[in-house]
Amino acid sequence: MARLTTFFKATRPQFLPAIAAPVGLGAAVAWRFYGLFDPLFFALSLFAALCYHAGMNVLNDYYDSKNGADDFNKAPLTPFAGGSRFIQKGLLTPEETFFLGAALVSAGTLAGLYLAWAATPLILAIGLLGFLSGYFYSAPPLFLAGRGLGEATVGVSFGLLTVVGACMVQTKGVSMEAAVASMPLSFLIAAILIVNEFPDFESDTRAGKRNLIVRLGRKNGSYLLLAVVLCAFVGVIAAVSAGFMPALSLIALLGVLPALSGALYIIKNPEGGPSYVPAIKSIILGHLSTGILQTVSLLFAA
């Protein structure tokens, strides 16, 4: 039982709601605009997404141990930044970490293959893009996180692709409504990644992990974070204005507010150290709240 608990904690479960929110939103779009909802397909979509996210978290720890990013980080803000550190603490070997990540991704793939057979083969394209972007986020030779491409990759994978994919298994087709509805969550999940790069700045720099905050520096990076959060605000308003979301969806602006406060805090404290934690929590809360409010608005709008 203790070993299973270690495996579970290694997945960084505190971040798993970040993938559950877009799955729920995609299913809500299918119900609102197409009148379709299959509980089994929804459950399998959620299972596949959670397995993929958990597996990629674990594989990220494995590759960050190989490139030295987590080893250089001597004061990580666990559990929010610096990885799970299970390898550094000796709780898991690198080999165990890799196989745990591979097992989780394999389980998600099996669920995805069933959905491709039972719902639509189009989901294979979404799944393949999600797998490649998630794996090569940390893994060589692409190592997207070290090339300043990780933030956009995560935004697309955990926002656009997840919402469109969750809607696709219900409707059997690509939904423009789902694509537009995904924009706020796409920007906010990218914001979660960006804010977590601030406390890891020194270790990422030493390891050659040249993400956007390493490239821009903390001060300039704080304004990038604010711009990304503001794009989520604009995304909510634009989706409603264009008729892709009901007017009630404007309540999702309330969800973006915690993320905005977190971004403003980082602008005031770009060298914050342990005081980054309130900002990280605020942006995580903003992402989850926005996804929930968007989903609720789709389910209950007149």
Per-residue DSSP letter, 182: T
Name every residue whose Cβ is closer than 8 Å to that of residue 241 and which is 6 or more positions away in sequence: none
Report the b/e string of 241-264 with b at 16+ CB within 10 A: eeebbbebbbbbbebbbbbbbbbb
Query: Is pLDDT larger for residue 72 or for residue 153?
Result: 153
pTM (predicted TM-score): 0.90
Print burial letters for 121-148: b (CB count within 10 Å at least 16), e (below 16). ebbeebbebbbebbbbbbbeebbbbbee
Q: Are 166 and 27 in contact (CB under 8 A)?
A: yes
* Angle, CA 213 vertex, CA 147 and CA 17 arms, to 5°: 90
Q: Pick left, alpha or beta for residue 140 (phi over 0 → left; psi -120 to 50 → alpha; otherwise beta).
A: beta
- The length of the chain is 302
Tokens of 139: 């893994």
pLDDT tens per residue across span 223-262: 999 999 999 999 999 999 998 999 999 999 999 999 999 9
88-105 residue pLDDT tens: 766 778 888 888 888 999
Question: Can you give the pLDDT at residue 90?
Answer: 67
DSSP string, 230-289: HHHHHHHHHHHHTTSS-GGGGGHHHHHHHHHHHHHHHHH-TT-GGGHHHHHHHHHHHHHH
Q: Which two tokens stand for residue 5?
A: 């608990």
Amino acid 12: pLDDT: 83
**Predicted local distance difference test score (pLDDT) of residue 97:** 85
Q: What is the mean pLDDT of residues 136-150?
A: 83
Domains of the chain, with CATH numbers?
8-300 (1.10.600)
CB count within 10 Å of CB 21 equals 25
